[in-house]
Chains A and B, each alone.
Chain A
Amino acid sequence: MTNALLFKEWKKTKWFVIGAFIVGAALLTYIFLRLGRSFRMVGMEHLWDVVINRDQFLLRELKYFPLAAGIAIAFSQFVPEVIQKRIKLSLHLPLSNKRVVFTMMGYGLSVLSLVYLLHILAILIFMGVHFPLEFIISALYTLAPWYVAGLMAYVLLAWICLEPSWKRRIFNALIMFGVLQLCFLSDFPGAYAFILFAVILLPIYILPFGYRSVERFKIGIQD
């Protein structure tokens, strides 16, 4: 039954997942090509100098990619569920509502994480070849909040979609806006070093919100 549910989610999100992957790959290709050009034009030593001594971050263009991917996948997955109240069908499946909701969200988070992981893996390989471990650690500290933002955007957008009342949706959107800000407080490389752990826990904290809105749907709340 879970497999069938996952098939349904895949069916809805397929092109968006593939799209997110392709856009991510294209973005990375562009960044790597541009960096390769810098290697040749100004030399590696200068590039290292700029990163170490001038606090430049080489992967700045990646900033909003995870966010966009999270938003796209959440939309593609949950908008078809809520238009025409199709969620009624999903909630009527012979599974507990909790299982239905969390399987759906688990699917989304998994494919999103998969796209992110492949993305990060490519970054790690590229950086591992050209840069020392210190760079990689700093880059991970800098990138992590952006990827966390993507996961949170997904979870919160799912919450907003599943919410039956438009008025409440607006408040949910305000919360989403505030929470996402937490991931974009600073562009300075490594600025999140001290609280990265807390930031990584945030998506877990907000995960059950969507289920709350399903419960609200179940008691018939609407505008």
Chain B
Amino acid sequence: MKSINYLIILLGTLLLAWLLPKSYHLITDTASKNIFTYYSSVDKAFCTIEFDKKEERLIRKNIKTNKVYNEHEFDSILPLFYSTQMFADGRMPDSIDGVEMKPREINSRKFFYRMNPMNKNKPHIPLYTLFESMSKRVRIEMPGDFFRLDSEIEFINPETNEVNQEKSLRFNTVFQKRGFQFPARQVAGNPSTRKAYDEGYFIIDNANQIFHLKMVNNMPFLRSVPLPKDVEPAYLMTTEPDDRSFYAFVYDSNRKLHIITTDQYKLQEIPTPAYDIDKDQLLIMANPLYWNINVVNSEAKTVLAIRSDSKEVVDEVVIKHDKEGENYARFVLPFSVGFTKSNTKFIQPSIFLGSVWVLLLNAILAGGFVLLMKKRKQKVQIIPLAWICLTGIYGFIASTIFNR
């Protein structure tokens, strides 16, 4: 039964195509360095902190003028980033660009928002915690139930594992009234009691409408978010920033980023470098004057500085990743198979092709295989030979071992 042999060779080849490159990467991989980049409200230019390998120290500089600062000087170049230090030193100017520098004001409008593709692409259990948004207590408390948004909204009591019919009905009525189309496509919230306040959930329904759901005084609150015609929401991220200026980010099907402002749910577009939510990392570092929009993809990190109020772009910088020396593996390994990726928590098979030149090596290996078969006094068969031409070193190893 030669066919079983071929099954074994096929499996062996694929395992090699997975494990060989994996062990190669284990040996050769180095961390790509991440250069901190921030727009200076003083210099009106991007400044960076970068580790210099030669000098073995951090270099802080303005990348427009190339002026290098020491740590102390650098605080005052990025006063909003180092605001706590600046206030502590008493070095914070009274105002920058006419904006008064008050500690509380700055703190509430400074935020960091990081979006990793893995946050989106991960399995999750479609049950959600709906907090009381107008709790009389200082701290947010667990509500004692979880809801699902399937063909209707249902609240389940975890102690009994039973549906709270009364509450479910109360909410369902409102969902019906507001024209919510079940089931929900995405339910975005921050189900944590460790946050300053709660804005409940933003939900994409089955008709691509966005709804804002929260529970106020134990009563349902459901509002539809008016969307401009050309905006079809693809992904929501509810944020609950300290200054309560907006609710959530909306990533649309045209790869544009918006915020849902607290001003009557109006959408405001946030300019970003080309951004693919499934592949690239997004980091927003905001302060009262500027937002730094970082997008890191496989080639470069691109940073936009935009004005906090108007969201208009003031500067842009592209920092290409260091080219990690020539990847010789591309000329040896015809392809590689992977099951895990850095942008998803799901196990998904993927295949990466090597250089076309590897076909040359494949042909040489096929020739080697013919010689080997001759030496072993075996008949040269066409199927293993074709397989080696296709899969190169992997097929060669597997066929050599298992085709006796």
Contact = CB atoms under 8 A, between A and B. Distances in A.
A196 to B, nearest CB: 9
Contact of A186 (B142, B148, B159, B340): B340
A49 B144 CA distance: 10
A211 B8 CA distance: 12
Nearest to A145: B347
A44 interface: yes
A193 to B, nearest CB: 5
| A contact patch SS | helix
Most chain A CB within 10 A, of B128, B144, B401, is at B401
B123 A178 contact: no
A190 B161 contact: no
A88 B8 CA distance: 24
Nearest to B18: A178
Contacts of A134: 125-127, 148
| B contact patch SS | loop
Contacts of A198: 349
Contact size range, B: 35 or more
B346 to A, nearest CB: 5
A49 B142 contact: yes
Interface in B173-203: 191-192
B46 to A, nearest CB: 36
A215 B4 CA distance: 11
A103 interface: no
Nearest to B146: A48
B339 interface: yes
A45 B158 contact: yes
Contacts of A171: 12, 401-402
Given A175-B8, A192-B347, A45 B192 contact: no
Interface in A170-194: 171, 175, 178-179, 181-182, 185-186, 188-194
A68 B198 CA distance: 47
A143 to B, nearest CB: 13
A141 interface: yes
Interface in B292-343: 339-340
A206 B11 contact: yes
Nearest to A188: B345
B8 A212 contact: yes
A189 B123 contact: yes
Contact of A212 (B5, B15, B148): B5
B15 A179 contact: yes
B351 to A, nearest CB: 14
Nearest to B15: A178
B11 A132 contact: no
A59 interface: no
A209 B4 contact: yes
A148 to B, nearest CB: 13
Interface in B1-24: 1, 4-5, 7-8, 11-12, 15, 18-19
A101 to B, nearest CB: 11
By Cβ-Cβ distance, the 8 closest A-B pairs, closest first, are A190-B123, A178-B15, A44-B158, A212-B4, A48-B158, A53-B191, A45-B158, A208-B4
26 contacts: A44-B159, A45-B158, A45-B159, A46-B142, A52-B125, A52-B128, A52-B146, A129-B161, A132-B161, A134-B126, A134-B148, A138-B125, A168-B401, A175-B12, A175-B15, A178-B15, A178-B19, A179-B15, A182-B339, A186-B345, A188-B345, A190-B123, A191-B123, A191-B345, A192-B346, A208-B7
Given A43-B159, A49-B142, A206-B11, 14 more contacts: A43-B158, A44-B158, A52-B128, A131-B161, A135-B125, A171-B401, A171-B402, A185-B339, A186-B345, A189-B125, A190-B125, A193-B123, A195-B349, A205-B7
